Structure 1
Amino acid sequence: MEASSTTIRLAGISPPILDGSNYHVWQVRMKAFLEGADLWEAVEDDYVVPPLVANPTANQQKLYKERVTRKAKARSSLYAAVTPIIFNRIMSLESAKDIWDFLKKEYEGNKKIKGMKAMNLKRELERVQMKENESVQEFADKLLDLTNKLALLGTDLGEERLVEKLLCSVPERFEATIASLENTREISEMSFAEAVSALQAQEQRRVLRRGDELVEGAMQARVKHGSGEKKKKGKQFGA
């Protein structure tokens, strides 16, 4: 716990946590975290800190302490960035580089395993379809999550493929927007963000139209109810 609090004070944020299933995303975020904390050199190079010479100057003492401390902080940052189960496996490793290399070997997987993971993600991407109760943004985020995971495994689908997948996977209610896009733009030249914005515009119009219909229905019901009350009172007075 002490190592974790030290790391948080050092970088201003908590390190990402490796749970064993998220290594490819974790290693990108963790490297950025260590670079921001000026600790990546201690992981990448595992430099040796020479012992102090006899009668060192104040500057030599300061530099020695800084380099030793950086190595210690890099190691403690990695300790704090894994689950307790993984920590038990790395606690005996003596340097941050040893820890980093162990985690890479253990969780990155060889070329064959990475290829299988990429194939499974491609299949999932092919199968996924936007649900009727799902928003455009929610579905777009789902597609981006899958493609980002594929990119980390070395497979880049490209913008055009992502746009095509989006337009082919939304419900029929978006057909008018898709037809308009196909008539006015080259789909191959459209960015994913532009395609998402176009679909969201129709989605928002549909929500506003539904809201207007609900308001109109409520007003008609109120008028009808008021008329009924007036007739009822008129009969009472007539009696």
Structure 2
Amino acid sequence: MAHALSLNVSNSFGGSNRAPILVANEYHHWSQRMERYIRRLRRDIWRSVEEGPHVPVLTPVQTDGATTKLGVGQPTLNRPTKNVLDRMENDIVAFYEISCGVASEKFDIIINCKSAKEIWDVFKNLYEGTEQAQDKKLAIALNEFNNFKAHAGESLEDSFKRFNLIITKLSNAGTI
């Protein structure tokens, strides 16, 4: 049993060449670790998660009367630039890495997602909730912050841990 627990903890952290795995009740930790992991791979890859997949714009290019598969003088599509190809590759890498960071029991939730951003948004909405739910979490965290005081007989370390948890809740709610 202890070996299985250490294996799960190890997987949830990920590694330098392995995405962190989303485990129950650790979404906020996973999202921070996953963002750092993807940014470490290449900063450009994170853009695919934030902005969504790059959709290249291919414009018709008129040929000079040369015979093409489309016929004589018919327009063809220009070739994607290296920048466009790089962005499309970043989309693939981001999608792959985030997909690999989802445990099997949660994979059905994202099985139909087509982009890294879509996966990210599904989990964000699932674990953080709607804007109303986020506002409620913020109100609760602010209330805990405003009413914080050490309990009788509580060690300084335990008080600090509780206070730090409140600060983390405020940070996750976007106030810090």
TM exceeding 0.5: yes
Q: Distance in 1 between matches of 2:38 and 2:152?
A: 40
Q: Residue 82 of structure 1 aligns to a residue in which SS?
A: coil
Q: Distance in 2 between matches of 1:67 and 1:79?
A: 18
Q: Is the 8 A contact 1:42 1:96 kept in 2?
A: yes
Q: Distance in 2 between matches of 1:143 and 1:13?
A: 34
Structure 1 segments, 4+ long, off by >6 Å, are none
1:145 corresponding residue in structure 2: 165
Aligned residues: 141
1:78 corresponding residue in structure 2: 98
Structure 1 residues 67, 116: CA separation in 2 closer, same or farther (over 3 Å shift)? closer
Q: Deviations over 1:185-206 (max 9, x none)?
A: xxxxxxxxxxxxxxxxxxxxxx
Structure 1 residues 15, 130: CA separation in 2 closer, same or farther (over 3 Å shift)? farther
Structure 2 residue corresponding to 1:42, chosen from 37, 48, 51: 48
Structure 1 residue corresponding to 2:114, chosen from 94, 105, 124: 94
Give percent identity, aligned residues only. Answer: 23
Bigger relative contact order, structure 1 or 2 (CA pairs below 8 A, ≥6 apart): 2
Structure 1 residues 80, 142: CA separation in 2 closer, same or farther (over 3 Å shift)? farther
Q: Deviations over 1:104-130 (max 9, x none)?
A: 333321232123223333455536634
Alpha-carbon distance, 1:16 to partner: 3.9
TM-score (norm 2): 0.59
Q: Deviations over 1:73-130 (max 9, x none)?
A: 2112111223323211102212112212222333321232123223333455536634
Q: Distance in 1 between matches of 2:50 and 2:148?
A: 40
Q: Distance in 2 between matches of 1:23 and 1:106?
A: 10
Q: Is there any run of 5+ residues in structure 2 with no aligned partner, and where?
A: 1-10, 59-75
Q: Distance in 2 between matches of 1:72 and 1:127?
A: 46
Rg larger in structure = 1
Q: Distance in 1 between matches of 2:139 and 2:27?
A: 17
1:132 corresponding residue in structure 2: 153
Structure 2 residue corresponding to 1:18, chosen from 5, 9, 22: 22
Q: Residue 92 of structure 1 aligns to a residue in which SS?
A: coil
Q: Is there any run of 5+ residues in structure 1 with no aligned partner, and where?
A: 157-239
Q: Distance in 2 between matches of 1:122 and 1:63?
A: 45
Q: Distance in 2 between matches of 1:129 and 1:122?
A: 17
Q: Is the 8 A contact 1:25 1:149 kept in 2?
A: no
Structure that is richer in helix per residue: 1
